[in-house]
Amino acid sequence: MKKILQAFALLVALAAAILWLATGANRGWTKTSVPIKTLDAVTGLEGVTYQAKFLPGVDFLGAALGGAALLAGASFFFRKQKQ
């Protein structure tokens, strides 16, 4: 059980870090949509529309790493299985 929890904690931490890095290492808050700017050629105005996109931020990374640390910490409550 101890090793399973530790492996799961490592997996959660790695998955969160890889996802965060792969989506551009956003150092702001997590976003579920991103603004897309469009130019109106006649008026010269720039319009903004929002496209649904998950962009994990530091809160997502922090929560995932915190969760992984809790799992790893919890693993110490389990004794090593005797061979």
Partner 1 sequence: MKLMHLIPLVTLATAVYAAPESFDFKDPKGINNVAFKLDAPLESVNGSASGITGTVSFDPDSPGAATGKIVVASESLTLPNPMQKEHLHGPTWLDVTKYPEITFEAKSLANAKTDGNVTTADATGSFTLHGVTKEITVPVKFTYLKDKLSARVPNMKGDLLVIRANFTINRADFNIQKGKYEDKVSDEINLSLSIAGAAPQP
**Cα 47 to Cα 29: distance, rounded to the nearest angstrom:** 23
Least spacing, CB of residue 36 vs partner 1, in Å: 11
CB nearer to partner 1: pick between 55 and 74: 55
CB nearer to partner 1: pick between 22 and 48: 48
Virtual torsion, Cα 6, 8, 14, 16, nearest 10 deg: -130
CB nearer to partner 1: pick between 2 and 31: 31
Per-residue string for binding with partner 1, 5-44, x by CB under 8 A?
----------------------xxxxxxxxx--x-x-xxx
Q: Which residue ranges make up the site for partner 1 (CB under 8 A)?
A: 27-35, 38, 40, 42-50, 55, 57-58
